[in-house]
């Protein structure tokens, strides 16, 4: 893991983002999956926003 996370929630969000990246890379070798990759990118962005919000909460504490 490239980022030293604080809470269990942050670690889970980081792991989820890393797993999504792996899935997107696995799809690279398949054809006609751009629509799936687009959906996964949207999910990644949403989880990244959740992670940013969580980091802010933890920094305020």
22, part of any domain: no
- Distance between CA 53 and CA 11 in Å, rounded? 14
For residue 9, tell me if it sits in a domain.
no
Tell me, yes or no, whether 24 lies in a domain: no
pLDDT at 60: 82
pLDDT score, position 2: 47
**Whole-prediction pTM:** 0.84
Indicate the number of domains in the chain.
1
Residue 12 lies in a domain: no
Contact of 57 with 10, CB cutoff 8 Å: no
Domain that holds residue 59: 32-61
* pLDDT (tens digit per residue) in 2-50: 455 578 999 999 999 999 999 999 999 999 999 999 999 999 999 999 9
Contacts of 5 (CB under 8 A, 6+ apart): 11, 14
In a domain, 3, yes or no: no
Question: What is the C-alpha to C-alpha distance for residues 1 and 33, in angstroms, rounded to an integer?
Answer: 28
15 to 29, 34, 61: CA distances (angstroms): 23, 23, 23
Residue 14 maps to a domain: no
């Amino acid at each position: 893991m490239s980022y030293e996370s604080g809470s269990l929630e942050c670690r889970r969000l980081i792991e989820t983002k890393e797993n999504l990246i792996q899935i997107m890379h696995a799809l690279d070798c398949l054809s006609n999956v751009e629509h799936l990759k687009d959906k996964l990118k949207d999910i990644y962005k949403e989880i990244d926003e959740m992670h940013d919000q969580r980091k802010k909460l933890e920094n305020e504490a």
